[in-house]
Structure 1
């Protein structure tokens, strides 16, 4: 029985101190409380009068041991110093499990490629027969083109050129291509495209075919208005 009375206090005290060593310094009140309970129990094994003294003695020892040997958190980031790989982190900075600020993800900046020059080819505007007047169907198609051009920056330069097939006299086709280029331009201006954007309105007649004038399909492709956009 005397051996039990001698060994039991040592076992309980060792258990309390070992447990406190795994806590943080700020947990010393918890260690002191556990030590106090253990001290009271140890004191009571000798005499009920010893319970208070045992609680005070063991509680004080446990609290002090926890403060000296406990794990600290000097930068207050919530990660114990023993695991903190980035000590001295500024207050309020979010950290990961190792106490370090997360590595920011690399920002991928996509390069915007600006096309300096673009040409809109309008082949399905046929005008009235042997005329530069636009039909209702032509106007509906040009409304879509106007919406597209109004999205361009005010600094964009627009060059409009009219083209015909090879049917008819060269001089007549030249004038007709010019009239059609101006007709398209005036409609686009009336639809809200700034007139200042148009820096050239010309007719090329039949001099710049893009298809064979010997076929109906080829001639249809050659009858066109082109709008060149320079940004």
Structure 2
């Protein structure tokens, strides 16, 4: 396979079924019928249709959440702004993102993140928390570039070794979650590894502040076992 082909998404990842087309057209019309809701691109209407399995109510709820997030964090949804937001995200949590793996053939994205490092960054300065939220919103766009990626969903893995109660800012964790896949039309499975009893309590509190369809896909208290490695961080750092 050529290097160009390796960098190109398979066109089949963008195919729609007849049912999904009907859903998308119905959702597009429902959005256009609401004057207080910004018109979305056809691609985003399709995302809403696939992620919500045709539910117009679910799609409208997500559309309103995305609009509120864009207004709260002054997100213009431009390519240049997205690049800056993602660069700023990397600067704010330089040790937070351990791995980013995207399968060009299946459209599935797997992120491995250091939970403690990510949260510490948002605690130091409220402005950093807003910058992180803006970056996380754009990160959702980058991890769901095809229709098949919306269908199969993403996997987010958090290493929680190093967490302590001084990082227990429940509202900050919920705020970051709400700016990302709690408003973006997506299917994300989230695994938290090596959580202490207190971390489990904090995460249980956060789950009450995010939507149920996001919270139900959280699993914590997981353990990682590999020869010569005790934490996920030791595999990447």
Bigger fraction of residues in helix: 2
Structure with greater contact order relative to length (CA < 8 Å, sep ≥ 6): 2
Tell whether the structures are fold-level matches, with TM greater than 0.5. no
